[in-house]
Structure 1
Amino acid sequence: MTIHKPIAVGTNDSAQSQAAVLWAARRAQRANVPLVILHVVDDRWVADPYPWFGVLEEAGDKLLQVAAGRIRGTFQVPVTTRLLNGSVGGALAKYSGKASMLVVGSGTGHLGGVLADRALQVAATAKVPVAVVGTQDLNGRSGVVVGVDGSKEATLAVSFAAAEADREGEELTVVYAVRTPDPIVDAGLSSTTLAELIVQEERVVLSETVAGLEEDYPDLKVHQILETEKTPVDALVDAAAGARLLVVGSRGRGGIKRLLLGSTAHGVLKHLPCPTVITRIQAARNKA
């Protein structure tokens, strides 16, 4: 018998986390999997014994029950709650191994925020795909957008996004942003012919990235966008402005790859256009 892991969602009762709980509940109901609502009591600075810690746990339990009550009255999905201790990012990332997907609110959502933003911490360290949800109104939106760059991570992100779009009856837009030589700024360094050749080569990369989707998903309509004038972050944010979902692969750099997001994923989460899923290599086949 196949065991379906639940979708887990963190909440602190902010507007963003409430939106995340509702988004996760809808997804769990569609996927026919349970929902686990999580709240973390940050006890890193608490000396034991500490008389107020029980109060914090009691408040956390009450918050979880209120959140679960909203879901049980609206969605037909099994709901459980779990109170965690520790750092918020660390506790949620550790728990993620028990879930098929982890959903979090977008946090402050301010532009140019610090790297320590909790949504970024969770997306960088979780073991499964992480959905970051803001407070955008999704009514009237359509389509799934995915960013690619020719990497293995991007190919897996396309697989995830295609399965999502096909399941939801949405169209898929695959966006590849690449820098080409500027004929004025780079005068004397490259020719127009070279720029054209680069574009042609990158179109081949884009085509290869989506190769096989027609066979796997014959009813899925796929659009390809090769952007040569915008940065990857700007291209994805603009393309997903009216979308229901954006998918980006996690691509860390350097010796601590597991702890870092690629610059594109990081930038997109700081300018969140819609619910955004950061996929992981080890979880790419997850269909929840």
Structure 2
Amino acid sequence: MIVTGVDGSEAGVAAARWSARSAAQRGSALRVVHVMPAWACDPDESGPYAGVARWMRAGAQAVLDEAVTAVREEAPGAVVSSGRLPGDPRGALIAAAADAELLVVGNHGIGGFRGALLGSVALGVAGRAACPVAVVRDQAVPPRPELVLGVDDADIGAAPIEFAFAEAARTGAALIVVHATTNDVPAGSPHTAARAVAAARVRHPAVKVAELDVPGHPVDVLLDAASGAECLVVGSRGVGGLTGLLLGSVSHGVLHHAGCPVVVVPTSSGEAQEGR
């Protein structure tokens, strides 16, 4: 199942449409949810704020109805359900996606601050959910049929690599594996993810793959490579990640600045060891 959080913003509707396409490609059910304050979810009409709560529930249903309509327009055969969730949006979405294969959110919500590059909900769930998190931006022009996978000299593990290959196999898109190099690690040098990439190529022989070594800072390299692509896939940690942080600096940077949807695939230290 794919879980999508919506809030009535344009980014939320874009996330719902992206989720619909992904669900159709995967043959997965889609759950569209809207998070609201717990006190407003209570249908008790005796409280002092019963009228406000009723108004908020009606607004929540309108948001859900709009998103479900967008899903059905995008994927008429999609199996879709919807519902309200009580609580803080970040915690509620993470809990709702505990058993999901993918959590999808828009890059900005209605409450976003002017000038901010990424909404607090998107930043709050990426790297913290148990499943991959897709942060969706509405693209003004149709993307080229390519997925970009970012690898570097940190051990991102096998999960992001397998996700990217499986996604390319489902969609028929080409996969561009981009390794950012520095002066300390010249182009063409073996990198930590090379073995996992080679193994994934064997498992997915139909995927058209190009592997690129590109000099420069990983964030700049990945943003340039993913410009106009369908999607950018990164691990939750990468070069520059600090011990104890749930989201590495590279993942954080591309989430803020990428012009295409970004999928952050969680990587635990144990999983990373297995992916070597």
Indicate which of 229, 232, 246 corresponds to 1:246: 232
Residue 275 of structure 1, CA deviation: 1.3
TM-score normalised to structure 1 length: 0.79
Q: TM-score, normalised by structure 2?
A: 0.83
Measure the CA separation in 2 of the matches of 1:61 and 1:45: 13
Between stretches 268-277 and 142-151, larger displacement belongs to: 142-151
* Unpaired stretches in structure 2, ≥5 consecutive residues: 42-46, 272-276
Q: Which residue of 2 aligns with 1:220?
A: 207
Corresponding residue for 1:29? 24
Residues 19, 135 of structure 1: 8 Å contact kept? yes
Superposition pairs for residues 74-153 of structure 1, below 5 Å?
74=74, 75-107=76-108, 113=116, 117-137=120-140, 139-153=142-156
State the 1:147 CA deviation: 0.7
Cα gap change, 1:138 to 1:38, in 2 (>3 Å): farther
Residue in structure 2 matched with residue 264 of structure 1 by the alignment = 250
Partner of residue 12, structure 1? 7
Q: Is the 8 A contact 1:147 1:154 kept in 2?
A: no
Asked if 1:210 is matched to 2:197, the reply is yes
The one-letter amino acid paired with 1:40 is: V
Q: What displacement does 1:73 show?
A: 4.6
1:176–1:206 Cα contact (<8 Å) kept:
no
AA matched with 1:226: D
CA distance change for structure 1 residues 110 and 267 in 2, over 3 Å: closer, same or farther? Answer: farther
**SS of aligned partner of 1:172:** strand
- How far apart, CA to CA, are the structure 2 residues paired with 1:148 and 1:59? 42
Cα deviation code 1:217-264 (max 9, x no counterpart): 222222112222x21111111000021111000026333x4xx21111
Report the CA distance between 1:27 and its aligned residue: 1.0
Change (3 A) 1:200 1:65: closer
User: 2:214 and 2:115 mapped to 1: Cα distance?
Assistant: 24
Closer, same or farther: CA 200–136 of 1 in aligned 2, 3 Å:
closer
Query: Following the alignment from structure 1 to structure 2, what is the Cα–Cα distance between the partners of residues 26 and 112?
Result: 29
Q: What letter corresponds to residue 24 of structure 1 in structure 2?
A: S
The answer to whether the 8 Å contact 1:44/1:87 transfers is no
Instruction: Name the amino acid aligned to 1:173.
Output: I
Q: Contact 1:150–1:209 (CA<8 Å) still a contact in 2? A: no
Number of residue pairs aligned between Structure 1 and Structure 2: 257
**Residues 112 and 270 of structure 1 are in contact (CA less than 8 Å); yes or no, is this contact kept in structure 2?**
no
C-alpha distance in 1, partners of 2:223/2:24? Answer: 28
Q: CA deviation at 1:41?
A: 0.7
Cα gap change, 1:117 to 1:62, in 2 (>3 Å): same
Report the RMSD for the aligned CA atoms in angstroms: 2.8
Letter in 1 for 2:214: E
Give % identity: 36
Alignment correspondent of 2:54: 54
Whole-angstrom CA distance in 1 between matches of 2:113 and 2:119: 13
Residues 217 and 59 of structure 1: CA distance in aligned 2, closer, same or farther (over 3 Å): same
Aligned equivalents of 2:224 and 2:39: distance in 1? Answer: 39
Distance in 2, matches of 1:233 and 1:85, equals 36
